[in-house]
Structure 1
Amino acid sequence: MDRRSYRVISFILHLATNKKSFFFWLSVRFVSAILPLITIYQFSHVVGLLEAKSPFINIFWALIWIFVVRIVDNFLRLRSITKLEYEIASISFDIHNFFLSDLKTNTKLERHEIVQSIRNFADASSVTLNLIKQPGIDSIVSLTLIPPILFFLDFRVFILNFAYVFIYIAIDTYTTQHYAHLKNILNTHTETYYA
């Protein structure tokens, strides 16, 4: 993301009237993204108990704790996603209100073009925030928590993970920039055609 993207996102968040609720549910979503890592650790603990031939009651309680963590994880994930969808829709409405409150135009055509631009910006903002909500937070957790864990557990796997992430980011950056360039060309030709 470049500097303009950060400025646009900060502008969008500045327009939001209910920031506390949005950031609260965003943090709940972050916690729900961390809980699967705890489940993986718990599964490894169960495997360790099975290898050590521990009593059945110990294995049973370990499985119960896995079940509890999965229930909490699913509840938090679904609740936070639902609440974030509401908050994102509210932010989109705030964008509409901000730009349309003082709108004065001379012609109906001019008003239509401005309203369409505002709708496009609000829709793009909604799509961006929804991407942050669902795959964005999971990606942040994967990129910030898993590598340090692997660094301390198995350095070879950490190196493989780092190489994978580096290659993925390089390919993603190239393709994103390439498709953005192609989209700009398409938009330019479309605007020229309809102008």
Structure 2
Amino acid sequence: RKCGCRMMYMPGDAPVCSPQQYKNCAHPAIDAMLRKDSCACPNPCASTRYAKELSMVRIPSRAAARFLARKLNRSEAYIAENVLALDIFFEALNYETVEQKKAYEMSELLGDIGGQMGLFIGASLLTILEILDYLCEVFRDKVLGYFWNRRHSQRHSSTNLLQEGLGSHRTQVPHLSLGPRPPTPPCAVT
């Protein structure tokens, strides 16, 4: 923005900086920006970065230098020092996309909390039901035990009354007696 141009590797519609603009404006602006520690710029939503690789060799053969010297009307030394062959190409025709995503979405958090709460509520409900079941069993045992003891004590008291009150008349009312039956007299044979 400051220089009115962009570097060749920067995306955008601005014209590419000329060597003079790069030297006078772009390079100092980039250096100042890199030295500045208090950059409050947000991370870009999308960026394109081209990896570059630079390799240089001298002109491969004397025959090529002689050919260019004759063609350009220059000496071989001048050709070796000032002429270059520039090849620009993609090293590989693929690209890599790096995306940043939230590690834990809000919906996942709420789902996990709901699942845990369901687990705890289910566990506490089961515990309450177990306690109620235990109390019902204790109550049943106490009530049935009370009635059984009462009934059992009534039987014993009625048996005692029958045994004491009837005394010798025990044989006359055998169906009321809860004690052992008296021996029956032997039958007479005629």
TM-score with structure 2 setting the length: 0.25
Larger helix proportion of the pair:
1
TM-score with structure 1 setting the length: 0.24
- For the pair shown, which has the larger CA radius of gyration, 1 or 2? 2
